[in-house]
Every structure is written in structure tokens, then in C-alpha cells.
Amino acid sequence: MTIRQWLTSAALSAGLGLGAIIPAYAAEKKAEFTFGSLQALPADAAKAQAEGWIKKAMPSYDTAAFTKIWADADASVLDRTLATLELGSPEAKKVLADARNADRDAPKAVPAILKDEKQDKFFRANLALGFSRNLTNARVYEESLEALAAVKPEDTVEPGTALFHRAVAEHALIKKDDAMRSIVRLLDDVSDAPDRYKMLATIMFIDMGNWKRDEKDLANIKRLMDNSERRLTQARGGKVTQEIQKKIVFRLDELIKEKEQQAKGGGQCNGGSCPNGGQGTQPGAGSKNPSSNAPDSTIMGGSGEGKVDEKKLKEFAEKWGTMPEKDRARAIVEITKDLPARYRVVIEEYFKSLSSATASK
């Protein structure tokens, strides 16, 4: 049984629909799947390819340094390959040096050399993998994914590493179908993928199987918030971050409007049967001070209309970094005062994430 078949069986036994778990094209594009034939290059084969490349790139290269690199059996094949690229190319050395500093200064674009299809395939594929690996580890997912998307895992010395980091970036950027396809390839097609990669990939796969399609689902909104917070922490508050924040505001507003309509439609509990055997009531009817707590999703008649002021939410998000602490506290109270508890929590967490990002700059 292949990993693809096992994941399908696991999804069905867990009560998850196959269509929601396995993207249709994961089964259709069979040409991309090699069923266990992908594996890391042995050290001697990788050394031979690296030596062939460096002789062309820099005929007068330091042979002693090259020999020392490949004599280090404790270093991975990928690390030895990257060290060779740095030895033979000043451009590669700069690309990798910048990538190592991505946690302090996140690159804002993929280096042109990684997009240049005229570059040697061995050089370009492995340099892209080294660049992407460091960026993924620093949570700079956008450029990591862009660099990996330009090369084939098969052209790298460690296809499993390429597929794993691609899947991590796709998962973090909420690209569910792409991430699932990368994970299936990693688990099913790479015969020597490290156990840690396989374990984390399986966890990501099952996690995505539980993602809801509804864009207004609170968990989906929270994932957008996480991406906004991450980008702000990296001082990447430009157009992309602003678009994410617009989505957050829009989806929160739509979600709250939807709950308002549900409340106006009768205020009933689960088809008319409330937990204690009673019947639902119209919003605002009866006592404003009930003896028991109302469900979080109910908009109370005595607590305002339950609407979020979209303009204010957007305005506060844009100028949050320059607002004094007391004004921030007042802003959160103003925005959330009429909201049900569960929505207050989400919006409060969003603005707390903005506070953390601002403080870390």
C-alpha cells in the first residue's frame, strides 16, 4: 500500500470526505509521481557533479578547499554541495549569506540568479534549495516558495528536503491543495526521506484535512491573522500585508453580519430545541439580564447590534504602530464592545499580534 492509499484510508476512517482531503489533481497528474524512486544523491555522485560544475565555473578553483569540503563526512550532502557552490561562485556566496540572515533581515525578493534559466541546472536547483531552506527556517515563506517553485526537486541533491520545505511554506501560506500534493510526493515518492520530515508532513496533512472551506470560519481567519503578524514582525508591512489585513477585516465583518441574520431569523437553538428543553426567542425579547449565559454565537438584544465598524477596524490596524498604549486599549474596547465573546477574542488577539510585531521592530 502506498502512502497515498494509506492517507486516503485514514481520512475515510476518520470520517473525513476524500474530496476534502486529497486534491483531485494529486491523483490525476500521475506523471509527477515516481513511487519511491526519488532519493538523495550518494555523496560520491554528488561530489562528482559538484566537481564537474566547479571546473566549468571556476577552472582555477581551490582544489584543496574542495577536497576538504567533501572529506567532511559529518556534513550532509546538501551542505557540502552548497559549500562547493560558495567556493566557485561569489554570487552564490552572497545569496546564501543573505539567506542565513533572513531571521534578522528578511529578503524582499528572490535573487535574479535563481530565476535565470540559463544558469547551470545543478547550480541553480541546489542554490535555490539552500536559499529556500534558510528562509523557511526563518519563517520567510513567500520568497522561499517562489524560489523552490522555479526548480524541480529531482534536480537537487536532496529531493526530500526540497519537497518538505516547499510543503512547509505552502502550509503556512494556506495553499492547502499545493501543500497536500507536495506532502503526498514526499511521503510516497521519496524513499529515503528523514523520519522527522515524514512525521511533520503527516501532521500537516491531517491538520489541513480539518480545515474548513468556509472563508469566514474563525480558524481560517486566525490563520490570516498569523500571517499578518508574521509579516509585520519581519518589517514587511507593504502591499501584501495590507491585502491580508483587508481580508481579515472583510471576513470578520461578513461573519458577524451572518450571525446577525441568524439571530434575527428566530434565535432558535439547534432546530428549536434549546439545551435545557426551552425554546429560542427573538433577539431582544424577554429579560435583558438572563440567569444563564447565552451562547457566544448569539447576539444579545441588550448588548448593542453586534456589528463591527469596518472603517474603524481598518483605520486602527493601519496606524496601530504609532498609537500610544492607552489609545490602543481604548480602541480595542470601542471596536469590540458590541460583539459576542468569541469574536471579541479573535479581534483582541489580532491587535495583540500587531502590538507584538511593533514592539519587536
Domain ranges of the chain: 3-209, 218-266+304-360
Give residue 119's identity as a one-letter amino acid code.
Q
pLDDT (tens digit per residue) in 194-221: 999 999 999 999 889 888 888 877 788 8
pLDDT of residue 361: 53
pLDDT (average), residues 182-188: 93
- Which range among 44-48, 152-156, 159-163, 338-342 shows the weakest confidence by mean pLDDT? 338-342
Q: How many CA atoms lie within 13 A of 56 on its CB side?
A: 10
- Residues 114 and 106: their CA atoms lie apart, in Å, by 17
pLDDT of residue 164: 95
320, pLDDT greater than 80: no
Give residue 262's identity as a one-letter amino acid code.
Q
Element (H, E) at 16: none
116, pLDDT greater than 60: yes
Which pLDDT band, with edges at 50, 70 and 90, does 166 fall under?
very high
- Which range among 56-60, 161-165, 308-312 shows the weakest confidence by mean pLDDT? 308-312
Which pLDDT band, with edges at 50, 70 and 90, does 74 fall under?
very high
Average pLDDT score over the chain: 77
User: Grid coordinates in use for 71?
Assistant: 572529506
165, 194 Cβ separation under 8 angstroms: no
- Residues 316 and 330: their CA atoms lie apart, in Å, by 11
- Residues 12 and 301: their CA atoms lie apart, in Å, by 43
Task: Specify the long-range contacts of residues 243-248, CB closer than 8 Å, at least 24 apart.
Answer: 245/314, 245/317, 245/318, 246/314, 248/221, 248/224, 248/350
- Residues 6 and 8: their CA atoms lie apart, in Å, by 5
63, pLDDT greater than 90: yes
Handedness of CA 55, 120, 96, 75 (dihedral sign): negative
Least Cα distance to 112 among 91, 133, 97 occurs for 91
- Number of alpha helices (DSSP H) and beta strands (DSSP E) in the chain: 18, 0
CA-CA-CA-CA dihedral for 79, 81, 86, 89, to nearest 10: -160
Highest average pLDDT, of 25-29, 291-295, 328-332, 341-345, comes from 328-332
- Residues 17 and 120: their CA atoms lie apart, in Å, by 44
2, pLDDT greater than 90: no
